[in-house]
Amino acid sequence: MRRWNGWGEDTVDYPLTGAARRHLAAQVGEGLALPDAEREAVLATIPATRLPPHSLITTTPLDRLLHARGQSLPDWIALRSGRLGVFPDGVAYPASSGQVRAVLSLARQLGARVIPYGGGTSVVGHINPLAGDAPVLTLDLAHLRRLTGMDDTSRLASFEAGVRGPDLESQLRAQGYTLGHYPQSFEYSTLGGWIATRSSGQQSGHYGRIEALFAGGWLETPRGSLELPAHPASAAGPDLRHLVLGSEGRVGVLTQATVRVRPLPEAETFQAVFFRDWDTGLAAVRQMAWARVPVSMLRLSDAAETETTLALAGRERLMAWADRGLRLAGFGPERCLLLFAVTGDQWQFGPIHRQVLEIAHVHQGLRVGPAAGEMWRETRFRTPYLRNTLWELGYALDTVETAVPWSRVAVTAQRLLAAARGGLAAWDERVLAFAHLSHVYPDGASLYLTYAYRRAADPDETLDRWRALKTALSDIIVTQGGTISHQHGVGMDHAPYLIHEKGPLGLDVLNALSRALDPDGLLNPGKLLSRPDAGGHTRCEAPHVDAWVA
């Protein structure tokens, strides 16, 4: 059974060795383990629904609880403490585009707000109901999961948008194809969610980001249905598909999507190279990006993440031997680990592999073979379970991510790490922070920062600590000219910073689009865009604190 207040199945754990626990305690101090709120106690706090009975809607307390929050750290604090405050008034499970239209029509009649819901994996507040006088209806697309069409000649597959990653891949693999979109949330996130948040999979170097994979679809809006034809290319005005990409449910509910698929790769390998330090690794990866080496993944960890990865590996004797060998080879505490993957036809493997290793050799990289890479691949979808373990040991874990030009990668990483590590000085608390490049491009790269700190006895203080870190890190990102989100979307947590990327006029354009398709403002209010003021301009103030916890 899936956890109601954490990540994943309740039968799956991510245990930490004694060495890993000692490493964490040495970095930030001993965690304070506290009991979580009991599910039954939280269910007892759910108020009566404001929705009338309807055959398409369930208003059971459990359904409303399970759709009340996503997977952000503020969501976890609310769930684990039992201080949710706001719940959806009901949940609809449509089984067709027609039923989605019926739910939207009903919502309009009732003046209800509608939250499109995919896999519930949002880490920035996409699916959270907000307090207000209008009832809130969550629209769960879990029953829309079929493969509805396969065009082998064009290599186009059409799915209902609620299909989750493993189910999508299973249906494609049965016919010899793959989409190849593997975000870390792959096990639970959905095709519609990937499109609505402009998701990026871990192997996008080979398969492409979701905007390259999304060919067309069907959108249900309060104004009616909108077909998005799957043209190979078109010069017939602006591409409406790009208005859906990243729209986060504000313009409509995507019920069907056509995607570009590929035959299953003949071979795939994940390999590892060590560099002596972060700057050397950056130079090597940048050269690979400039040369457009067709790897499916390049992931460069800084020294702190490399050390933490080795500490968490769980194979203490093996890691001790590896550490000794690396030190003898001249790779000391500043060493950085590069993981790379090669995916495709067998004939491509040799040339691509040689090109990566030749560039690595120029930068004095040390090839260590497939063991570390394959270990990462085997556990890449289990890593989110580590959050459960750390929470239960008394630690909070969160991430921020951005993308910046190559000229600002090093300084942005340096400033983010410094701000994170010193971000809780007011509480006399330490922060463990480390970073990696998660995706690379010829003109820049995405930076992904992970940080952990001790939970406080008071959940509100734990939230205050998060807010201090999130604000400081987000301010650095926009000051450095980075995007506020490379792959997680905007939701509520990033909404105050969107103006730095879009500008006031850009936000007015997006608001106008939202009003054109949703004139009554029924769809996912408070996410992505703030409501326009009396003059028609977007307010860019930070969300009220209750939006994070209540």
pLDDT of the residue at 538: 39
The single-letter DSSP state of residue 385 is: G
pLDDT of the residue at 311: 76
CA distance 404 to 399: 17
Question: Could you count the other beta carbons within 10 Å of the beta carbon of residue 451?
Answer: 26
Tokens in use for 381?
Answer: 């979808």
pLDDT of the residue at 321: 67
Residue positions counted in the chain? 550
CA distance 355 to 352: 5
The single-letter DSSP state of residue 479 is: H
CB 141 within 8 A of CB 116: yes
When comparing pLDDT for 204 and 310, which is higher? 204
Place of tokens 């039968």: 11
CA distance 193 to 185: 11
First to last CA, the chain: 26
Query: In order of start, what are the domains of the chain with their CATH numbers?
Result: 147-263 (3.30.465.10), 267-380 (3.30.70.3450), 495-549 (no CATH)
Helix (H) or strand (E) holding 396: strand 395-405
Dihedral of alpha carbons 461, 467, 469, 470, sign: positive
CA distance 338 to 348: 21
CB 450 within 8 A of CB 437: no
Could you tell me whether strands 136-140 and 90-92 are parallel, antiparallel, or unpaired per DSSP bridges?
Answer: parallel
Which regions of 249-335 does DSSP assign to beta strands (E)?
A: 253-260, 262-263, 267-275, 297-301
DSSP of 149-185: EEETTTTEEEEETT-BHHHHHHHHHTTTEE-----TT
When comparing pLDDT for 309 and 190, which is higher? 190
The single-letter DSSP state of residue 22 is: H
Question: Could you count the other beta carbons within 10 Å of the beta carbon of residue 21?
Answer: 15
Longest CA–CA span in the chain (Å) reads 72
Residue type, 85: G
Residues 6 or more apart in contact with residue 510 via CB below 8 angstroms: 502, 528, 529
Task: Decide: helix, strand or coil at residue 514.
Answer: helix
91 alpha-carbon distance from chain centroid: 23
Residues 6 or more apart in contact with residue 114 via CB below 8 angstroms: 103, 104, 107, 136, 137, 138, 139, 253, 522, 523, 524
Question: Could you count the other beta carbons within 10 Å of the beta carbon of residue 342?
Answer: 25
Place of tokens 């952990």: 452
Nearest to 228 by CA among 249, 254, 247: 254
The single-letter DSSP state of residue 383 is: G
Q: Is 510 exposed, middle or buried (0-12, 13-18, 19+ CB in 10 A)?
A: buried
pLDDT tens for 375-428 read 899 989 999 999 999 999 999 999 999 999 999 999 999 999 999 999 999 999
Query: What's the average model confidence in pLDDT over 45-70?
Result: 97
Q: Is the pLDDT of residue 135 over 90?
A: yes
Q: Is the pLDDT of residue 545 over 80?
A: no
Backbone angles phi and psi of 221, in degrees to 5: -125, 165
pLDDT tens for 291-341 read 999 999 999 999 999 988 877 766 656 566 677 778 878 888 899 999 999
CA distance 240 to 228: 7
Angle at 72 between CA 69 and CA 76, to 5 degrees: 65
Query: What's the average model confidence in pLDDT over 69-77?
Result: 98
The mean-pLDDT minimum among 144-148, 181-185, 540-544 falls in 540-544
Tokens in use for 221?
Answer: 């809006």
DSSP of 26-48: HHH------PPPPHHHHHTTPPP
Tokens in use for 258?
Answer: 């056509």
What is the pLDDT confidence band of residue 544, given thresholds at 50, 70 and 90?
very low
CA distance 49 to 51: 5
Q: Is the pLDDT of residue 533 over 50?
A: no
Backbone angles phi and psi of 11, in degrees to 5: -95, -5
How far from 273 is each of 12, 82, 375, CA to CA, in Å?
30, 45, 14
Q: Is the pLDDT of residue 228 over 70?
A: yes
Query: What's the average model confidence in pLDDT over 333-360?
Result: 93
pLDDT tens for 10-40 read 999 999 988 889 989 999 999 999 999 999 9
CA distance 346 to 31: 48
What dihedral angle (degrees, nearest 10) is formed by the CA atoms of 534, 536, 537, 542? 50
CA distance 451 to 352: 34
Beta bridge partners of 254: 219
Q: Is the pLDDT of residue 537 over 90?
A: no
Dihedral of alpha carbons 178, 179, 184, 186, sign: negative
pLDDT tens for 490-511 read 999 999 999 999 999 999 999 9
Q: Mean pLDDT over all residues of the chain?
A: 93
When comparing pLDDT for 223 and 321, which is higher? 223
CA distance 462 to 474: 18
CA distance 265 to 287: 26
